[in-house]
Amino acid sequence: VQAMASFIEDCQDEAVAVDVLEALSRLLPASEAAAAPVAAALHRAGGLGLVAPLLRRPRQALRVIALRILAALLPRITDPAEAAGFWLDAQEALLLFPLTEPVRRALLQLMHAVSPTTPAAPWGAGAQAPALLLQLLICCDDSRERLAALQGLVAALADGPRSCRAAFVAHPSWEGLLLEQLVDSAPGVPPQGSDEGSQTHWSWRGPEMHAIRRLLRALAVHSLRC
């Protein structure tokens, strides 16, 4: 594991790096207990410092596999400052690229990589992964991808277990992240009779608006009951 991690860090051949990283990710079984020794070795080999540069690589496959490996690493991170710094780097890196289906799926899966000792920490994946997905939505001009991402968030946060809602509302800006989807800068449909080029009074319509409202309602109710 140490040798593979070192090789990936220095490898400039994107295709070779993908093959090695994929082989490394296959060492992480679905069972948390079975994956623990490999995750521990990855943590010793650099941990979050190994994953962060991969999220800036141009090849999408590298970024997606890195997010999968991140799911195994996060439960081992106990330093809030280390995790918070990583998420800032991850946000800056992923916002360089458009939101795509593989990245969206990886982020939705990452939401469930919650440390059992701090399930609702502001720096945990349950708070930061959906926050990052919402930030990517602001820059996404693919209506199908936006809707798929919102539906995935609804399934996890509105219809999913209470623990997922608790994890996300631990994020200090969760309300603003959702409301930001409704402001003028967000992609949307101009109201009937308005100038399409206008940057004012834009609004969502249809299933996207329905999904945003469901998220706001479910999370607001959860917060009031807690």
Report how far residue 186's alpha carbon sits from residue 136's, in angstroms, rounded to the nearest whole number: 11
Is residue 76 within 8 A of residue 40, CB to CB? The reply is yes
Q: Look up the pTM and report it.
A: 0.83
Is residue 174 within 8 A of residue 127, CB to CB? The reply is yes
* Block residue for tokens 């990052």: 132
Report how far residue 66's alpha carbon sits from residue 207's, in angstroms, rounded to the nearest whole number: 31
The confidence score (pLDDT) of residue 204 equals 56
- With bands split at pLDDT 50, 70 and 90, how would you rate the model's confidence at 205? low
Tens of pLDDT, residue by residue over 144-197, are 999 999 999 999 999 999 989 999 999 999 999 998 887 644 544 444 444 544
Tens of pLDDT, residue by residue over 50-74, are 899 999 999 999 999 999 888 888 8
